[in-house]
Amino acid sequence: MDRDDYRFIVLGSGIAGLYFSLKVADQGKVAILTKKHRAESNTNYAQGGIAAATGPDDSVEQHIKDTCAAGVGLCRAEAVQTILTEGPARIRDLIELGMQFSRRQSAVPGEKEWDLGMEGGHSRRRILHAQDITGKEIERALLAAISRHPNIEIYENYFAIDLITSRSLRLEEPDRCHGLHVLDIEERRVLTLGAQAVVIATGGCGKAYLYTTNPDIATGDGVAMAWRAGVPVTNMEFIQFHPTCLYHPQAKTFLISEAIRGDGGIIKNLKGHPFMDSYPLKSLERRDVVARAIDQEMKRKGSECVYLDITHKPAPFLMNRFPHIYQTCLRYGIDITKESIPIVPAAHYQCGGIRTDTEGLTDLPGLLAIGEAACTGLHGANRLASNSLLEALVVAHRAAERLRELPLQDPHPNLAPWADAPNPDKEEGVVIRHDWNEIRRVMWDYVGIVRTRRRLERARKRIRHLQDEIQEFYRQARLTPDLLELRNLVTVADLIVQASLTRPESRGLHYILDHPQTDPEWSRRETLLIRGRPPSWTSIACSPGSGTA
């Protein structure tokens, strides 16, 4: 890989990184780095779909209203208006690139229309999907388009370590990003790469928790790198727990799509009672409400799971609408056409992240962040289902367009090579596994769906102690992907704890028993974390009509 041959280096091969690369490739050569296989991303595992106001009874205004209600008074006005307004155009772009959304027979004989799905928190059917494997179809379409473009190269098994900045180079100039250090996993060597712009599209941090719907790659790498470079991070207390993850001893992180609830699935307890019926929207309440209700029911009954029942729907409908879920559950001995699905909540989506605007720009010139790793403010305190893929498309497009106007600088001609020289023979997998498991258990027990100040303080002490141990170990041990992930994981865990202790109220995904009500004064405040400074908050312009309940 030629360190000076690429204008843009993109970290991550999900929808945000791939779509951005396609949009920016006419401006110069693009290198996409992914720490595993090119199709291994959170996008690839997305089942539900993309929310956009495309239906005849829908409107952008209604989509905005639903998004703000889910965000509980914390959605940034500009982000909501921009992303949801421009969303339908980006959907058309995706279709032109070869994306195949599911269709159904329309009222007009011989014609078909989009098969729009319904999910929790939405007031209209607006979820475009490809059966229940939307993410896989998106990856297929984008990777096919990438393979046809001469200006884009994908490098698999390259793990980004740290950003190279003016400050890290000790240059007497305003701080900016010049490039990064990267571990070539197969060759076991560290490369020093320069670029005019580095784009973080590394996804979220679900693996910080014991139970998650995310793949193993979701270790918060981009957020941790940006944090170490001094880039502000915001709203990390808002970790969305998906209420319906398959509960089975042999199943690993398998998500049961929210679309099943949208199509009539009912959440029940062990005795078959639909305990969500006491809520206004019943089983179709937004995710934070459903996850807390399930958590409360499990604790109240002492049960390990609850159930999602859709057996009242015709078997052919279920097998055609949810083929992936049907076949996967069947493999574990569960026939969803005849029996209820055992489910538990699991960490699912990171609503906070690297602070950006709607063009992906961070506070560090030369560094952009898009997708789940970034926080545009669209989601507020709780992501509305299926808004994330739309956000990735719109912000990636706007970032590419913005880079046409920015005067990008060449990286510094004398980038410092990798300075660390760890012992090449010292590799202790048992230490890494132990620390990884302890982080995930601490986060699940103390920083989960329902929190208390005492639990958060306990988590902070333990995570800080682990940070010190891991940093010392990192300086001495052989550089491996597992060690890099552990280092990033403990960093992001600490950021989540810090942000959670900073917000003195319950709002959306952050529910703390010490302060169970929302505080109106905090409806316009985002938590703000900057390295070397105490945690604080910043005021934002919220979208009108945002809820406070």
The 3 state secondary structure assigned to 404-446 is CCCCCCCCCCCCCCCCCCCCCCCCCHHHHHHHHHHHHHHHHHH
Give 3-state DSSP helix, strand, coil % of the chain, rounded to 5: 35, 20, 45
> Mean per-residue pLDDT for 202-206?
96
* The pLDDT of residue 547: 45
Give the fold, CATH level 3, of 8-104+124-237+350-403. FAD/NAD(P)-binding domain (3.50.50)
Q: Give the type of residue at 511.
A: Y
* The pLDDT of residue 315: 97
Q: Half-sphere exposure of residue 368, counting CA atoms within 13 Å on the CB side?
A: 35
Confidence of residue 426 (pLDDT cuts 50, 70, 90): low
Q: Which residue has the higher pLDDT, 302 or 538?
A: 538
Radius of gyration of the chain (CA): 22
Using CA atoms, how far apart are residues 325 and 258, in angstroms rounded to an integer?
11
Classify burial at 187, counting beta carbons within 10 Å of its beta carbon; exposed 0-12, middle 13-18, buried 19 or more: exposed
Q: How many helices, marked H, and strands, marked E, lie in the chain?
A: 13, 21
Cβ–Cβ under 8 Å, residues 398 and 360: yes
Q: Assess whether 287 carries a catalytic annotation.
A: yes
How confident is the model over 147-187, as pLDDT tens digits?
999 999 999 999 999 999 999 999 999 999 999 999 999 99
Cβ–Cβ under 8 Å, residues 453 and 497: no
Partners of residue 76 on adjacent β-strands: 542
- Lowest-pLDDT range, 74-88, 128-142, 371-385, 444-458? 128-142
Confidence of residue 341 (pLDDT cuts 50, 70, 90): very high
Residue 287 has pLDDT above 90, yes or no: no
- CATH number for domain 429-536, candidates 1.20.58.100, 3.30.360.10, 1.10.274.30, 3.40.50.720: 1.20.58.100
Residue 491 has pLDDT above 60, yes or no: yes
276 is written with which tokens? 């969500």
CA 41 to chain centre: 10
447 is written with which tokens? 């920083």
Q: Which residue has the higher pLDDT, 412 or 27?
A: 27
Residue 427 has pLDDT above 80, yes or no: no
How confident is the model over 502-541, as pLDDT tens digits?
999 999 999 999 999 999 999 999 999 999 999 999 999 8
- Lowest-pLDDT range, 108-117, 159-168, 377-386, 474-483? 108-117
* The pLDDT of residue 15: 93
Q: List every span in the chain annotated with CATH 1.20.58.100.
A: 429-536
Contact residues for 278 (Cβ-Cβ < 8 A; gap 6+): none
- Lowest-pLDDT range, 10-19, 113-122, 264-273? 113-122
Share of the chain above pLDDT 70, in %: 95
Of residues 22, 21, 67, the one with CA closest to residue 379: 67
Backbone torsions φ then ψ of 286, nearest 5 degrees: -65, 165
Q: List every span in the chain annotated with CATH 3.90.700.10.
A: 242-348
Using CA atoms, how far apart are residues 359 and 29, in angstroms rounded to an integer?
20
Cβ–Cβ under 8 Å, residues 126 and 58: yes
Cβ–Cβ under 8 Å, residues 184 and 158: yes
Classify burial at 426, counting beta carbons within 10 Å of its beta carbon; exposed 0-12, middle 13-18, buried 19 or more: exposed
Contact residues for 161 (Cβ-Cβ < 8 A; gap 6+): 180, 181, 182, 183, 190, 225, 418, 479, 484
Confidence of residue 230 (pLDDT cuts 50, 70, 90): very high
96 is written with which tokens? 């032109």
Q: Give the type of residue at 78.
A: E
* The pLDDT of residue 286: 83
Residue 360 has pLDDT above 80, yes or no: yes
Give the fold, CATH level 3, of 242-348. Flavocytochrome C3; Chain A, domain 1 (3.90.700)
Helix (H, G, I), strand (E, B) or coil at 539: strand
Residue 448 has pLDDT above 70, yes or no: yes
Helix (H, G, I), strand (E, B) or coil at 299: helix
400 is written with which tokens? 């590419």
Helix (H, G, I), strand (E, B) or coil at 220: coil
Q: Give the type of residue at 464.
A: R
* The pLDDT of residue 157: 95
Number of residues that make up the chain: 549
Partners of residue 197 on adjacent β-strands: 8
* The pLDDT of residue 548: 39
* The pLDDT of residue 425: 57
Residue 45 has pLDDT above 70, yes or no: no
Q: What mean pLDDT value characterizes the chain?
A: 92
Out of 287, 321, 462, 525, the active site residue is 287
Using CA atoms, how far apart are residues 236 and 222, in angstroms rounded to an integer?
13
Q: List every span in the chain annotated with CATH 3.50.50.60.
A: 8-104+124-237+350-403
Using CA atoms, how far apart are residues 291 and 287, in angstroms rounded to an integer?
6
Confidence of residue 421 (pLDDT cuts 50, 70, 90): low
Partners of residue 234 on adjacent β-strands: 353, 528
| pTM greater than 0.75 (yes/no) | yes
